[in-house]
Chains A and B, each alone.
Chain A
Amino acid sequence: MEWESVIGLEIHAQLATKSKIFSSASTAYGAEPNTQACAVDLGLPGVLPVVNQEAIRMAAKFGLATGSNVSKHSVFARKNYFYPDLPKGYQISQFELPIVEKGKMEIELEDGSKRIIGITRAHLEEDAGKSLHEDFHGMTGIDLNRAGTPLLEIVSEPDIRSAKEAVAYMKKIHSLVQYLEICDGNMAEGSFRCDANVSVRLKGQEEFGTRAEIKNINSFRFVERAINYEIERQIDVIESGGEVIQETRLYDADKDETRSMRSKEEANDYRYFPDPDLLPVILDDAYIESVRNTLPELPKEKHQRFVSEYHLTDYDAGILTSSRELADYFETVAKQLAGDAKLVANWVIGDLSARVNKEDISIRQSPVTAKMLAGMLKRIEDNTISGKIAKDVFNAMWSGEGDADTVIENKGLKQITDSSAIESMIDDIIASNPQQVEQYRSGKDKLFGFFVGQAMKISKGKANPAQVNEILKQKLNG
């Protein structure tokens, strides 16, 4: 039997507003517990919500960037359930009339093929607080700082057919919300997380199988693993004669498995109704156009422009535009250089990205700023240093030893381009290695590298490689 998996993702992106969606308390991450939970966030008797205009604007931006319909009439509704991290006993969300509907997102797979994933809707809601389970005499501690942080819940159509596609889609959305500057994308802090609805069916079958919802997955790797585990589990259940139960499951990264959460069959009666403390959000064409005018260049357009403007390969342009900060970094550097942008692309994709990934920081936190990298690449262009020396300069800059010119000066890394100096050095090398000269001249061409190596060793890498090659050839062949 051949199985097909059907996956839909619900992505929760925390919107990068300064204050909460319904109160004027700060959304800053990492504060002492409950110091950023104001009367409204705590749900004190008598308090009322007022909507943050930035949350609306950010949702509209997302809608426009995904070709969705930005609703001119959306409504906040209450989702009623009891949980200690939900202070009011209801979450203010959107139900029947969300702010964004019917968009799409194109994803690319590893084999280069492309697919369109439908976006059913994106709605605004408030985040809940956090339950801390470490031991308070057998009790649970509740921190409501996060309560009321604006979330955009982005719901995909069940168009996804594999864990790999799910990751590709999630990465695309992750990149987009950062491009739009509506979410910092920080998955470790929970700013970007997702629930996955997974079901399986026989290939060719029309109707969907029973789905399980895997809650709160907060890394790309876990999304892939959790979905793959869940697909296997469901196939096993069915093939061994069982039935998949509609339920909520949790992914346990340590054990690499999903497990059933407490049965929620009765808790699913959320008793949604329009929040009577809030009025419908009415947006007009002028507003929507004004938001459209603030849209930045989106990944797809940027990709195309990088290919045409900087003559990059499709592959390089794809990598560089995969995140806005990487693209911005590249472009800042490239604009400062006269020559080939390929050099810039190689450095940004190569040494810089490797170092940033190794240290697990963001490009923005790189100690080598775009300006510093540009300064160094200029020195390659004008032959002050070689590409090889540049690696030392880059490492020195990374360790905080100053900009390229300072490093070159302090370490005396300036390339030797004086032909007579190189010539006399090569004369010395030839003189002190008669055996090798003999062998080379008798046809052992490979030994040419030995002489280059000697020249670089003696010059501590500073001799201009092109000149070394040329003079060596002259002298050895001569």
Chain B
Amino acid sequence: MYHTKTLAELSSMLAAGKVSSVELTQSFIDRIKQHDSDLNSFITVTEEQALAQAKLADEKIQSGTAGPLTGIPFAHKDIFCTQDVKTSCGSKMLDNFIAPYNATVVEKMADAGMVMLGKTNMDEFAMGSSNETSYYGPVRNPWNTNAVPGGSSGGSAASVAARLTPAATGTDTGGSIRQPASLCGITGLKPTYGRVSRYGMIAFASSLDQGGPMAQTAEDCALLLNAMAGFDRRDSTSLELDVPDYTADLSKAIKGLKIGLPKEYFGEGLDAGVAEVVNQAIQQYKAMGAEIIDISLPNTHLAVPVYYVVAPAECSSNLSRFDGVRFGYRCEAPRDLEDLYKRSRGEGFGTEVKRRIMVGTYALSAGYYDAYYLKAQQLRRMISEDFSKAFEQVDVIMGPSSPGTAFNIGEKTNDPVSMYLSDIYTIAVNLAGLPGISVPAGFSNNMPVGLQIIANSFDESRLLNIAHQYQLATDWHKQIPKAFA
């Protein structure tokens, strides 16, 4: 059975001719058809294009011009523009939007020979932590279909966890890769801000958004990041830095690694079961020769407030282009221009998106800018400096990815603030622009728990190495939910 294999294993099988890309692609499409009605993890399945791409990949493999990712099926979060394929961003606003161009990440992965199975479900415009804000309905957690998969990359996380695809892309603005990876028991990497091009990735909060890979293992994430990362002349915030081979350091020993444990990540609000799993993982690292150091990130408690000024402010402006004029949803028979704007946007956006646009609009409006936006940017620097100081002392920081395991669908929908607080451990990393990874570390009440590892800027290689070493010693990442085994 192909679906139990990791991406790296499938890559070897393709190279050795043990399976063709067409066979592989068909088998995953069959699984999507069989299982996705239970999960709702895909918005669009591109069967025809996928099989055509797979055929081309097989030709490349036969002619010896294939790379390690050629012929590997995967899925894109529906936030990446895919030419001639619907790109909805989980919103009614873009339900009719057939993107007229490809995101840079989409181009890069196609250039690597990968086969796109479809587009995964997500919180509307990536605004949510449970995948319940999607216009296409909530995604269900494969470990318990009454529970949320996390968000906003919930469709990507659930589809990888249920082995409907070997890998998927995600985006992470405040934890949207790491939190669903944690809640679904897969590996998800948020790279350093600027590592992966944002061109063609529909913007939520421009100074925080970052695309990254989601897969079963750190090794798979390394292979994917090799294809995704790199300078893009179309993105002013893209970094002009060489991209290392992220698989090169995977097997390095981690003896002597200095791991910082911020006391703020283990305090009030952390579920006891989650704490236990995370502590066990840290013990494992200790056993592997790492040194554990207690540290403090004193401004952690400010990350959520700061984020809920910066992100809504940026989103309120980024989402102004959805006005019913050039693309996307337009209301029926607008009476006048103002009616066109208000009804197209009022009807096209869901409640959470409207809430955040309003918060951001308020925070930027005359008389409040200094009290909200400017203040938040000052605190953002203080939060960032906490990390800089910590990395003078330690190599990486570890803690939980999320304060609890997956909660039930509907449990927090009417209480945005309690939903926001579930991102408490991931948000500061986005504010500081650092890379972070969530690694499956065990279960609490039969639901997966993720260990979050945070590194200094551009240190993705080290993150992947540390996660890979853990995965060599444990098999949490190999667990598959029974219904999808």
B-contacting residues of A (Cβ < 8 Å)?
A: 39, 42-51, 78, 80, 82, 84, 87-90, 142, 268-269, 271-273, 276-279
Taking the closest CB of chain B, its distance from the CB of A90, in whole angstroms, is 5
Chain B 194-213, CB within 8 Å of chain A: the 1/0 string?
A: 00001111110111000000
Closest 8 CB pairs of A and B: A89-B320, A276-B206, A271-B364, A276-B207, A43-B321, A46-B200, A45-B202, A88-B321
Point out the residue from B100, B236, B314, B323 that lies within 8 Å of A279, measured CB to CB.
B236
List residues of chain B with CB within 8 A of the CB of A277.
203, 206, 236-237
* Nearest CB on A from B236, distance (A): 5
Is B420 an interface position by the 8 A CB rule?
no
Taking A44-B101, A273-B369 as given, write out 19 further A-B residue pairs in contact, using a Cβ cutoff of 8 Å, ordered by the A residue number: A39-B101, A44-B100, A44-B326, A44-B327, A45-B94, A45-B202, A45-B203, A46-B103, A47-B199, A47-B234, A48-B198, A50-B234, A51-B236, A87-B325, A271-B361, A271-B366, A272-B369, A273-B317, A276-B206
B296 to chain A, nearest CB (A): 29
As a 0/1 sequence over residues 327 to 339 of chain B, the CB contacts with chain A under 8 angstroms (1 = contact) are: 1100000000100
In the complex formed, the residue of B with least CB distance to A39 is: B101
Assembled-state Cα–Cα distance A307/B80 (Å)? 65
Cβ contacts under 8 Å, B101 to chain A: 39, 44
**Residue of A45, A46, A80 ringed by the most chain B CB atoms within 10 A:** A45
Complex alpha-carbon distance, A271 and B94, angstroms: 26
- B373 at the binding interface (Cβ < 8 Å): yes
Are B320's CB and A279's CB within 8 A? Answer: no
Contact B317 A80 (CB under 8 A): yes
Of B81, B316, B325, which is within 8 A of A84 by CB? B325
Which residues on the A side are within 8 Å of B320 (C-beta)? 80, 82, 88-90
**Residues 418-462 of B at the A interface (beta carbon under 8 Å):** none
Q: Is the CB of B317 within 8 A of A278?
A: no
Sort chain B's interface into a size bin: 35 or more
Q: List 9 A-B contacts (CB under 8 A).
A: A44-B101, A44-B327, A45-B97, A45-B322, A46-B202, A88-B321, A89-B321, A271-B365, A271-B369
Give chain B nearest CB distance to A143 CB in angstroms.
Answer: 12
Q: Do A47 and B200 touch across chains, with their CB atoms under 8 A apart?
A: yes
Q: Are A45 and B317 in contact (CB under 8 A)?
A: no
Main secondary structure of the interface of A (DSSP, over half): loop
A48-B235 in contact (CB<8A): yes
With A48-B235, A276-B205, A276-B206 in contact, is A87–B321 under 8 Å at CB?
Answer: yes
Asked if B236 and A46 sit within 8 Å, CB to CB, the answer is: no
Minimum CB–CB distance from B325 to chain A (whole Å) comes to: 6
B341 within 8 Å of A by Cβ? Answer: yes
A277 to B202, CA, bound (A): 12
Identify the closest chain B residue to A79 (Cβ).
Answer: B317
Q: Are B373 and A273 neighbours in the complex by a CB distance under 8 Å? A: yes
Residue of A42, A80, A273, A279 near B326 (CB, 8 A) is A42
Q: Determine how close the nearest CB of chain B comes to the CB of A390; give it in whole angstroms.
A: 57
| Option from A46, A47, A84, A279 in Cβ contact (under 8 Å) with B237 | A279
Q: Is the CB of A82 within 8 A of B202?
A: no
B361: chain A residues at CB < 8 Å are: 271
B207, B317, B328: the one within 8 Å of A89 (CB): B317
Within the assembled complex, what's the spacing in Å between the Cα atoms of A276 and B100? 24
Q: How far is the CA of A417 from the CA of B373 in the complex (A)?
A: 86
- Check if B394 is an interface residue, CB within 8 A of chain A: no
Q: Which of B100, B314, B341, B369 contacts A39 (CB 8 A)?
A: B100
| Contact for B365 among A45, A48, A82, A269, CB less than 8 A | A269
Select one of B94, B200, B313, B322 contacting A273, CB under 8 A.
Answer: B313
B322 nearest CB across to chain A (Å): 8
Name the one of A49, A82, A272, A279 contacting B341, with C-beta atoms under 8 angstroms. Answer: A82
Q: Nearest Cβ distance between residue A350 and chain B, in whole angstroms?
A: 53
The answer to whether A90 and B202 have CB atoms under 8 Å apart is no
A80 near B81: Cβ-Cβ < 8 Å? no
B233 within 8 A of A: yes
Contact B206 A142 (CB under 8 A): no
Closest to B94 in A: A45
- Hey, which chain A residues are within 8 Å of B205, CB to CB? 276
Rounded to whole Å, the gap between the CB of A238 and the closest CB of chain B is: 28
- Shortest Cβ gap from A138 to chain B (Å): 11
Measured in the bound complex, the distance between the Cα atoms of B99 and A39 in whole Å is: 11
Minimum Cβ distance to chain A for residue B129 (Å) = 22
Chain B residues within an 8 Å CB radius of A269: 365-366
How far apart are the CA atoms of A387 and B466 in the complex, in Å?
Answer: 92
Q: CA of A39 to CA of B233 in the docked complex: distance in angstroms? A: 15
CA distance A278 to B235 in the complex (A): 9
Indicate whether A278 sits within 8 Å of B323 (C-beta atoms), given known contacts A84-B337, A90-B317.
no
A45–B316 Cα gap in the complex (Å)? 14
A268–B81 CA distance with the chains assembled, in angstroms: 34
- The 8 Å CB contact of A45, one of B89, B235, B313, B341, is B89
